[in-house]
Amino acid sequence: MTSFPFYLDCDTGIDDALALAYLLASPQADVRGIGAVSGNVSAAVGARNTLDLLELAGHAHIPVALGAHDPLAGSFGGGAPWVHGANGIGEVELSMAAAGLAPETAAEMLVRLAQEHPGTLRVLAIGPLTNIAEALRLEPSLPQLVAEITIMGGAALAPGNLTPVAEANIANDPEAAALVLSADWNVTLVPLDVTMTNVLEENHRQELLASSGAVPRALGEMLGYYFRFYEGLFGRACSAMHDPLAAALAVGAVTPAVAPVVHVDVDTTSGPSRGQTVCDLRGLYMDYPEQPGARCRVVLALEGDFAPHLVETLLAYSSAAAASEPVGATVA
């Protein structure tokens, strides 16, 4: 199976932790570097969580770079402890990794990796887009160097989750999102329309908790916290799967059922729709005819059920633990 070099940008977070573990276990992905950005937690706490998870998963060699603390405009708002816990990973305590931070910023890491892998690097962004915007400012030809970028963010036809119309990753840095979504590259946008309708249930969490692998068990514990938040929305213990679903789409392991390529704008005004992703879905009435110049594939629905695939992939850590080997592909 072909494996592609990946740069992951995240605000580690419970669902970011799931996405990271999923990506490491995916044979299609060869994670070359990870940048942390403020979102669910500060960039510094997100980087700490990422380093600790990498060590737990047997991938401590993957470099982690500290990214932006503040969005392009304004300052970091303190994260979402009511969703992810004060430490971002549902109050689960992981052993502190021995590895330290990379000697470059997240934006510098992304630019370096794009230059080292011209035309093949895949970018997966599952937090606010500040680091990606800073990388675009550092290297304006970044869109020509990167093969594609997958972004968890936005709400196309669905309501928002941070405001009535805005999703958290976009709402936490609308200026960065506007820059990234107007750049000349192939974007796959994974909005709330599809992440809120693909749900992980309590039986899936129990499967993770019953695993012999430390990674699935830790994720199962974190999900306990996440499920309590989503119980307030869905009325039962379960959760949306924002970031791992974006990871699965980025590696091509799941197939979109409805994913028109359309123009997307981000509202950067200071009014009530600040942070809204304005997706031109008027083609809905005509089965989405081609929009000249559009580069953003907006995933609105999936083929099949994502949760069993996610759980099966994460449970691969059980057999790897037994064999004392890290899960996931590496390319020399």
Q: Which residues bind ligand BDR (CB under 6 A)?
A: 13, 15-16, 39-40, 80, 83, 126-127, 152, 161, 167-169, 242-243
11 catalytic? Reply is yes
Q: Nearest approach, Cβ of 84 to Ca ion (angstroms)?
A: 9
Residue among 6, 7, 13, 194 that touches Ca ion (CB under 5 A): 13
Helix (H, G, I), strand (E, B) or coil at 195: helix
Closest to ligand BDR by CB, 222 vs 327, is 222
Helix 130-138 to helix 106-116 angle, to the nearest 10 degrees?
60
Q: Residue 152 — φ and ψ, nearest 5°? A: -85, 115
Is residue 70 among the annotated active site residues? no
Q: Is 214 exposed, middle or buried (0-12, 13-18, 19+ CB in 10 A)?
A: middle
User: Taking a C-beta distance cutoff of 8 angstroms, is the pair 44, 14 a contact?
Assistant: no
* Sign of the torsion formed by the C-alpha atoms of 243, 263, 119 and 27: positive
260's CB contacts (< 8 A; 6+ apart) are 281, 283, 284, 288, 291, 297, 298, 300
How far is Cα 285 from Cα 289, in angstroms, rounded to an integer? Answer: 9
168 binds, options Ca ion, ligand BDR, none, Cβ within 5 to 8 A by partner type? ligand BDR
**Which residue, 33 or 127, is less far from Ca ion as judged by CB?**
127
User: Which lies closer to ligand BDR via its Cβ, residue 167 or residue 267?
Assistant: 167
- To ligand BDR, the closest distance from the beta carbon of 119 in angstroms equals 27
**Minimum Å distance from CB 324 to ligand BDR?**
31
Q: Least distance in Å: CB of 325 to Ca ion?
A: 28
CB of 72 to ligand BDR, least distance (A): 18
- Residue 299 has a CB neighbour count (10 Å cut-off) of 25
Residue 80 binding partner per list Ca ion, ligand BDR, none, with a CB distance cut-off of 5 to 8 Å that depends on partner kind: ligand BDR
Which x/- pattern over 101-130 shows residues binding Ca ion (rule: CB under 5 A)? -------------------------xx---
**Contact call for residue 67 and Ca ion (CB under 5 A):** no
The catalytic residue among 30, 84, 242, 267 is: 242
52 lines the binding site for Ca ion (CB under 5 A)? no
26-40 b/e (C-beta count within 10 Å ≥ 16 → b): bebbbbbbbbbbbbb
Provide the annotated active-site residues: 11, 242
Chain residues that interact with Ca ion, rule: CB under 5 A? 11, 13, 16, 126-127, 243
